[in-house]
Amino acid sequence: MSNSSSSSRAYRRLDKDQAAVLLVDHQAGLLSLVRDIQPDPFTNNVLAVADIAKYFKLPTVLTTSFEDGPNGPLMPELKKTLPDAAFIPRPGQINAWDNEDFVKAVKATERKQLIIAGVVTEVCVAFPALSALAEDFEVFVVTDASGTFNEVTRDAAWNRMSEAGAQLMTWFGLACELHRDWRNDVEGLGTLFANHIPDYRNLMTSYSATKAPK
């Protein structure tokens, strides 16, 4: 195996001090198109990513495309969870990377690892992901917080991005890789998990019981 091939397959680990989050086009109209995952779990996953960004204090950029048209407004929960995030309402560019203000906001984070999720996967996620990879950013796509019409279009998008060098992750794996070590904070991350995974509450309840004064 050549050195270049070996390097491309190396484990590039997320670092909370090097990562930024880009949430692209989680808009009311576009959300209605998502069919590769059920609406309630999908909303939960998107909000989990927002909570992860908040928990790890990751610089975040929110963006929408053509809000005045059928795409509709941004999920209000995102601005509520991330009130300090940069917000770039694009007037019409389909690829967020074609919008100068968006790219400026991304580069202003001074982070080289970009965590991206959005709707729809093969367009709103894939286009900026591929554009960022072309400018030597490391790209991590949160697959379960990105949605599209069906599994065929989803898989085509995943293949295209991964072949270009993007890493595909889930929000749970994202949180764990950023956290690195449970000793950093059990209660905080455990509570985040419990808020988005009902069965995880059992773990936290059991843990709290073992820590309770005798």
Q: Where are the beta strands (DSSP E) in 7-149?
A: 19-24, 60-65, 86-90, 113-118, 138-142
| Burial environment of residue 130 by CB neighbours within 10 A (0 to 12, 13 to 18, 19 or more) | middle
Is 176 among the residues known to form the active site?
A: no
- 32-38 CB contacts, 8 Å cutoff, 24+ apart: 33/119, 33/120, 33/147, 33/148, 33/149, 34/119, 34/120, 34/147, 34/148, 34/149, 35/147, 35/148, 35/149, 35/150, 36/121, 36/147, 36/148, 36/149, 36/150, 36/151, 36/153, 36/154, 37/144, 37/147
Q: Where are the beta strands (DSSP E) in the chain?
A: 19-24, 60-65, 86-90, 113-118, 138-142, 167-169
DSSP state of 75: P
Among 61, 105, 124, 174, which one carries the catalytic annotation? Answer: 124
Question: Are 96 and 90 contacting, i.e. CB atoms less than 8 angstroms apart?
Answer: yes
Active site residues: 124
